[in-house]
Amino acid sequence: MNLAMTSCLRLRSYAKINWTLEVMDRRPDGYHELRTIYQSVSLYDTIRLSASPGKIEVSCDDARVPGDESNLAYRAANSLREVVGSRAGALIEIQKRIPVGGGLGGGSSNAAVTLLGLSALWKLEISNEALSEMAAKLGSDVPFFLVGGTALGTGRGEIVSPIEQADCPFILLVNPGFSVSTADAYGKLSRLTRRASTSIMPFALMAANGVRGLPHQARNDLEQAVLPAHPEIAEVKRRLLGMGARTTLMSGSGATVFGVFDNCETLSKALEDVRAIGYRADQVRTISRLEYWDSIFE
């Protein structure tokens, strides 16, 4: 695509899961210190960016997504204008496929992709470092979506380091039909686990083995706060294990749960059974960094 000659762009805004999410001490700024392994997966929203004179507008085909200044994509566009001193405008149209408030980073992904797309649409010369700084101010997950693939997240999640790619072709995402407040999830944590240091060795081995070690490595500390308040999530995990999943875990602060399967046949049967129960379910696979960057701009 010749980005220099277009006034309209279509981009893929991919979802993420967390292979692991460890919550440590509360920081002076009120956030918690985290250690997480982010992973891009093949489910994505579609974002259409069009040049517009002087103002930013956001529309979405999902009524739950705000179209005002509280929308993360809107905030990303406005932040970009302020940093570069531009008065350019844009229409941001979001076609939603990622569950809203589902722990899959949909809003954060939309924000990051908007930064990337508008940088091209407005023909800006802006460094990756500047984009990362803007992303970190927008939200803890946003910087990951400027990296993609498999990555280690530290700090409050905004310090992102690429690691060896995990390759997993058989993942089922199941959403029980409601969202979970991230702030509430952290607020309800009954106990914080201290970690002396961050070590990526187990996760590098996990990636090299095609996530065969995942049942032994996977953890999400937020489950201890979220599952008692939302037993439906625990029920989804139980059902997926009964349907043949090798492991299940809540992604982020929920409510989406992912199950890792060994083959397409078992996953397909689980997908059929989960949908028959009435849950939202999507078959996905991991996306490498190379594929992520090759496919963002459609």
Question: In this predicted model, what pLDDT tens digit does every residue of 80-90 receive, in sequence order?
Answer: 999 999 989 99
The runs of H, that is alpha helices, within 14-162 are: 72-84, 106-121, 128-138
Read off the pLDDT band of 55 (50, 70, 90).
very high
Q: What is the pLDDT of residues 139-191, one digit of tens each?
A: 999 999 999 999 999 999 999 999 888 889 999 999 999 888 877 777 776 45
* The listed CATH number (3.10.20.30, 3.40.190.10, 3.30.70.890, 3.40.50.300) that belongs to domain 171-284: 3.30.70.890
For residue 148, the tally of other CB atoms under 10 A from its CB is: 25
Quote the DSSP letter at residue 154: E
% of the chain at pLDDT higher than 90: 72
Read off the pLDDT band of 197 (50, 70, 90).
very low
- Say which residue, 3 or 292, is predicted with more confidence: 292
Ranges in the chain annotated CATH 3.30.230.10: 3-162
Residue 166: the pLDDT is 87
- Say which residue, 201 or 44, is predicted with more confidence: 44
Tokens coding 290? 């190379």
Read off the pLDDT band of 193 (50, 70, 90).
very low
User: Which are the contacts of 124, defined by CB distance < 8 A and separation ≥ 6?
Assistant: 80, 84, 86, 118
**Does residue 207 have a pLDDT over 60?**
no
Read off the pLDDT band of 27 (50, 70, 90).
confident
Read off the pLDDT band of 206 (50, 70, 90).
low
Residue 238: the pLDDT is 97
| Alpha-carbon distance values, 107 to 73, 100, 110, 172, 274 (Å) | 7, 8, 5, 21, 25
**Burial class for 7, CB neighbours closer than 10 Å (0-12, 13-18, 19+):** exposed
Residue 213: the pLDDT is 52
Ranges in the chain annotated CATH 3.30.70.890: 171-284
% of the chain at pLDDT higher than 70: 88
Q: Which residues are catalytic?
A: 16, 141
- Say which residue, 206 or 298, is predicted with more confidence: 298
Q: What is the pLDDT of residues 230-266, one digit of tens each?
A: 999 999 999 999 999 999 999 998 899 999 999 999 9
Q: Which residues of 251-285 are buried (b: 16+ CB within 10 A; e: fewer)?
A: bbbbbbbbbbbeeeebbeebbeebeeeebebbbbe
**In whole angstroms, how large is the CA radius of gyration of the chain?**
19
Query: How much is the mean pLDDT over the chain?
Result: 88
**Does residue 97 have a pLDDT over 50?**
yes
Confirm or reject CATH 3.30.230.10 for domain 3-162, answering yes or no: yes
Tokens coding 297? 């701009």
Helix axes 72-84, 106-121, angle to 10 degrees: 40
92 three-class SS:
strand
Phi-psi map region of 182: left, alpha, beta (phi>0 left; psi -120 to 50 alpha) = alpha
**Residues 171/261, Cβ–Cβ less than 8 Å:** yes
